[in-house]
């Protein structure tokens, strides 16, 4: 119930950082990254890369936003179950390892709280490029055999649009022999950010930002420097935090943002009554009324992102009016609904649609985080709820938000991390 006022600096995007860190496997020369977010998932991928022999250096130990990666001595192109089970995005090492070393052994990711999330399309694409792939003892074992010197360029049409699938195949294709065409490619800004780094490393890629990426393989890649794109989901999460505080008031300046990557979210928040002004790398939001309920359907970029669905649902919970939210990307991404209902929300699920009847007030309670974006939605709901809300299992939050509670506390929220 505290007004939010002040500035928040947005971190680099988790979902760009993860593939970009893996791209350092593609070269023996150093890759320097700036704007790296300090997240549990980033630490996990760095641990996996370090186990393979990648040298990870933070030139200024107090600043974890700049990192230098040196892949000149990769001795074990393998990712173990122990780490992959903690983060599915670890599968992103498969494409680059195979492309550069001719072999890779990566644990097959298991089940996930938000959906089945198989990686069959990653495997289908690599097979189309000539890779031999076997799954045994829970591991994906991939190689391109003794005779071949590289993966072969291919035309690949994935059955559905997949973000990490596109990224894995893109990283494999940059070192393949000949041309690869990725049809039905994901157009997410994080894919484009990865492609931009790969181009700086010497890759030949065209069609950035479209659903058709054309890659002309090169023999080797060199080192490069790159600043990771701003996190559009973190930005959207703070915009939702402002919107939900409508009746108490919110005035937030979000710096280091990339509003051009979040058109749909901005449009929907305008519909909700959030006043939005923006420049090239900033967004100023003001809210001084109860939000209006907004309906939407999640879909691939540039449509409404599934990673913002839970945060909008928290806002809809206390908005004026009723809303319908349909989740089309993941089959089980409504686990925050029961927790929001514990705070007094009135949300009913029917199939992949959640219907919310906005209530006048939420009341604080103890709730349980179940996945990353669900945790963020509960924190936002807690800001608006009367009394105290305790969000349990916030390790989910730490996977993808860089010091969220500190950023919120700095703009006036009464929030603290408790052991
Ligand atoms: N799919 C398959 N087979 C595949 C690949 C995907 O059936 O081989 C299905 C998935 O099960 C899902 C759909 O295709 O139903 C789309 O999945 P996608 O592969 O695009 O998801 P992802 O690459 O595993 C990334 C983000 C997610 C984000 C989704 C959708 C990263 C590291 N993760 O996951 O981020 O929700 O795209 O935009 O980029 C998050 O940050 O909280 C998060 C979950």
Q: Work out the pLDDT band at 113, boundaries 50, 70, 90.
A: confident
Rounded average pLDDT over 269-298? 98
pLDDT higher than 80, residue 390: yes
Apex 312 CA angle, 308 and 313, nearest 5:
115
Give the contacts of 41 (CB within 8 A, at least 6 positions apart): 14, 18, 87, 89, 399, 400
Residues with CB under 6 A from ligand 1: 14-15, 18, 89, 115-122, 160, 162-165, 306-307, 329-330, 372-373, 400
Give the per-residue pLDDT at 289. 95
Query: Which of 163, 265, 309, 311 most suits a substitution to test ligand 1, by most atoms within 8 Å of the C-beta?
Result: 163
Cα distance between residue 277 and residue 71, in whole Å:
43
Ligand 1 centre and the CA of 203: distance in Å? 25
- Which three-class secondary structure state does DSSP give residue 114? coil
**What are the backbone angles phi and psi of residue 174, rounded to the nearest 5°?**
-65, -25
Q: Work out the pLDDT band at 3, boundaries 50, 70, 90.
A: very high
Cα distance between residue 256 and residue 69, in whole Å:
24
Rounded average pLDDT over 70-78? 97
Arithmetic mean of pLDDT over the chain = 96
Give the per-residue pLDDT at 1. 86
Ligand 1 centre and the CA of 136: distance in Å? 24
The pair of structure tokens assigned to 99 is 């492309």
Ligand 1 atom nearest the C-alpha of 122 is 8
Cα distance between residue 251 and residue 6, in whole Å:
7
The structure's pTM equals 0.98
pLDDT higher than 80, residue 242: yes
Residues 222, 28 contacting (CB under 8 angstroms): no
pLDDT higher than 80, residue 110: no
The pair of structure tokens assigned to 53 is 């022999």
Give the per-residue pLDDT at 150. 94
Ligand 1 centre and the CA of 89: distance in Å? 9
pLDDT higher than 80, residue 216: yes
Rounded average pLDDT over 44-65? 96
Give the per-residue pLDDT at 186. 98
Q: Are strands 322-326 and 353-357 parallel, antiparallel or unpaired?
A: antiparallel
Give the per-residue pLDDT at 147. 74
Rounded average pLDDT over 276-302? 98
Ligand 1 centre and the CA of 207: distance in Å? 21
* 112 annotated active-site: yes
pLDDT higher than 80, residue 145: no
Cα distance between residue 241 and residue 84, in whole Å:
32
Give the per-residue pLDDT at 182. 98
Name the E strands within 130-274: 132-136, 139-143, 155-157, 179-183, 204-206, 212-216, 224-227, 250-255
| Nearest protein CA to atom 6 of ligand 1, as residue | 162
| Nearest protein CA to atom 39 of ligand 1, as residue | 15
Between the CA of residue 202 and those of 73, 168, 316, what are the distances in Å?
20, 17, 46
Give the per-residue pLDDT at 258. 98
Instruction: Please list, residue by residue across 366-401, b when 16 or more beta carbons sit within 10 angstroms of its beta carbon and e when fewer do.
Output: ebbbbbbbbbbbbbbbbbbbeeebebeebebbbbbb
Cα distance between residue 291 and residue 276, in whole Å:
14
- Tens-digit pLDDT profile for residues 312-347: 999 999 999 999 999 999 999 999 999 999 999 999
pLDDT higher than 90, residue 129: yes
Apex 71 CA angle, 69 and 77, nearest 5:
125
Closest CA to 264 of 228, 316, 227, 312: 312
Ligand 1 centre and the CA of 121: distance in Å? 11
- Which three-class secondary structure state does DSSP give residue 282? strand
Residue from 9, 76, 112, 406 carrying the catalytic annotation: 112
| Nearest protein CA to atom 44 of ligand 1, as residue | 307
Give the per-residue pLDDT at 73. 97
pLDDT higher than 90, residue 148: no
Q: Work out the pLDDT band at 19, boundaries 50, 70, 90.
A: very high
The per-residue DSSP string of 129-155 comes to TT-EEEEETTEEEEE-TTT-SS-B--E
Closest CA to 222 of 100, 79, 47: 100
| Nearest protein CA to atom 2 of ligand 1, as residue | 118
Ligand 1 atom nearest the C-alpha of 164 is 23
């Amino acid at each position: 119930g505290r007004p939010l006022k002040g500035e928040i600096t947005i971190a680099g995007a988790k979902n760009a950082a993860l593939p970009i860190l893996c791209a350092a496997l593609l070269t023996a020369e150093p890759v320097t990254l700036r704007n790296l977010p300090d997240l549990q998932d980033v630490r996990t991928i760095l641990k996996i890369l370090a186990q393979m022999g990648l040298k990870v250096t933070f030139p200024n130990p107090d600043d974890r936003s700049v990192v230098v990666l040196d892949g000149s001595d990769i001795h074990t192109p393998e990712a173990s179950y122990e780490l992959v089970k903690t983060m599915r995005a670890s599968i992103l090492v498969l494409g680059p390892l195979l492309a550069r070393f001719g072999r890779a052994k990566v644990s097959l990711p298991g089940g996930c709280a938000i959906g089945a999330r198989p990686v069959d399309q990653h495997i289908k694409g690599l097979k189309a490029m000539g890779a031999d792939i076997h799954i045994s003892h829970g591991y994906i074992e991939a190689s391109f055999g003794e005779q071949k010197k590289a993966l072969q360029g291919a035309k690949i049409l994935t059955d559905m649009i997949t973000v990490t699938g596109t990224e894995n195949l893109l990283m494999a294709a940059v070192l393949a022999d000949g041309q690869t065409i990725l049809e039905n490619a994901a157009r997410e800004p994080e894919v484009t950010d990865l492609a931009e780094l790969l181009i700086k490393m010497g890759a030949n890629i065209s069609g950035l930002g479209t659903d058709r990426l054309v890659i002309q393989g090169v023999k080797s890649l060199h080192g490069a420097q790159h600043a990771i794109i701003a996190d559009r989901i973190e930005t959207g999460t703070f915009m939702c935090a402002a919107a939900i505080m409508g009746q108490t008031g919110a005035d937030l300046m979000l710096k280091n943002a990339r509003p051009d990557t979040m058109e749909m979210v901005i449009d929907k928040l305008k519909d909700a009554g959030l006043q939005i002004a923006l420049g090239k790398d900033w967004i100023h939001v003001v809210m001084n009324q109860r939000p209006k309920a907004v309906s939407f359907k999640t879909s691939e970029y540039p449509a409404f992102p599934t990673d913002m669905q839970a945060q909008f649902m928290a806002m809809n919970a206390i908005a004026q009016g009723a809303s319908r939210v349909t989740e089309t990307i993941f089959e089980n991404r409504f686990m925050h609904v029961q927790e929001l209902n514990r705070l007094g929300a009135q949300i009913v699920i029917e199939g992949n649609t959640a219907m919310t009847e906005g209530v006048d007030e939420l009341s604080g309670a103890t709730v349980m985080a179940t996945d990353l974006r669900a945790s963020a939605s509960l924190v936002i709901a807690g800001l608006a709820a009367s009394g105290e809300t305790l969000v349990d299992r916030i390790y989910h939050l730490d996977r993808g938000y860089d010091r969220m509670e500190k950023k919120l506390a700095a703009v006036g929220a009464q929030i603290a991390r408790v052991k």
